[in-house]
Structure 1
Amino acid sequence: MSYSPLFLSLKIATIATIIVFLLGVLSARIISRRIFPGKSIVESVLLLPLVLPPTVVGFGLLYLFGVNGPIGHWLLLLFDYKVVFTWVAAVIAAIVVSFPLMYQSASAAFQNYDPNVENAALTMGASKFKVFFTISLPLAWPGLLAGLVLTFARALGEFGATLMIAGNIPGVTSTIPLAIYSAVEAGRMEQAYTWVIVIIALGFSSVLWLNWWTKRNVMSFKQNS
């Protein structure tokens, strides 16, 4: 049995998680504490992949990044590059479907502490850049870490959108969920069971570690207070 689905899944999930973390934290920081016309609409659009069927998300990505799509057409003209049916397409699918989890966690994290702490630092002459990295980020970190772990787990288990835009190409786009699908279709149930156990173990380990880390920090906070 080839182990390429495991390595490919970890590669795609890791890259997607890094990108989603940066985009999620940035967008949540900009949007969460501001009031502006159409804010509810903007947030609804950002969270839409969370409630849509993955195949619908995949269809939308296929339209955008297909050779005749608005983005895919220009990528083909400018760089002679086709996104569809590549591992990059799988990364894009993982980014889109997992982004709402990171955004929600980051938005809640930035609203979960008193903004006067930041304002006090700003009035004392600290730059916004320094305030963010020395005050905002540490205070919001527990929520951001939770979003990070959930994002990785979601990206690791992505199936529907990936199948639509990246296909199921062994060694190229066949992640663990797609490998399970292929194994079941071909009647290779032992192989399917193996991949099911692997992905359950990865997801369970991620959530278990997050719960352990959270409880440890809660106990540490109670002891210090």
Structure 2
Amino acid sequence: MKDKTKIRLWPGFLAGTLIGLIAFLLSFDALQSLFVECGASPWLAWGGPICIDGTILLSTWAVWGFERNGIHYRWYPWAGFIVAGLLSILGNALHAWIQDGGLLPAWAGPMVMAIPPIALMYSTHLIVIVAGSQTAAEPTAEPALAAVEDKDSSVRFDEFQEWYLRLEAARRLMESVSDDEVVGMTQRKPTGKKSRKGTDTSWSQAPLFVAKDAVA
């Protein structure tokens, strides 16, 4: 089996970006002139190609967003991509027809001027769907955090319970012995060893409390 040769991606990205930019500029010029012919203001006619070719770019991004977030109805961005692509092709062809001396069909003006509101509704709907699915996926980390907090609380409760049982056992032990025995258990006796100065300074390290009988 032959080893696959690793393909460099930057030439493809560079060529694709260059072709896309040139195609967008050529289509932009043709669609802008078409919108002017259909009655759009020359100052705002540049928005026409943005609505058409921009929807192509948005639909491409939405296809990736639907796939990544597991959104159903993945045909929806593909449908927008295909429809916007056909409108761009038809618009450029209609512009060439007009430039060649052809007359603008009666249906062309209403159809062209209906594109911007349709593009507005479609683009905002796509963004809401993708953004909504992204937001709904984020709170999934909260149950894990709550589980960690519950675990820490249970650990602290177990430690408190253990210390409480020890204190309770010590209290019962103190109640089970007499006062003389308590004093005897709490006194530390000298070991009998003398320091260089002749004074008793060493004391036994016996525990302060020693239970004679185990307390249940």
Question: Do the two structures share a fold, i.e. TM-score over 0.5?
Answer: no
Tell which structure's C-alpha radius of gyration is larger: 2
> Scaled by the length of structure 1, what TM-score is found?
0.32
Greater relative contact order, per chain length (Cα 8 Å cut-off, separation 6+): 1
> Whose helix proportion is higher, 1 or 2?
1
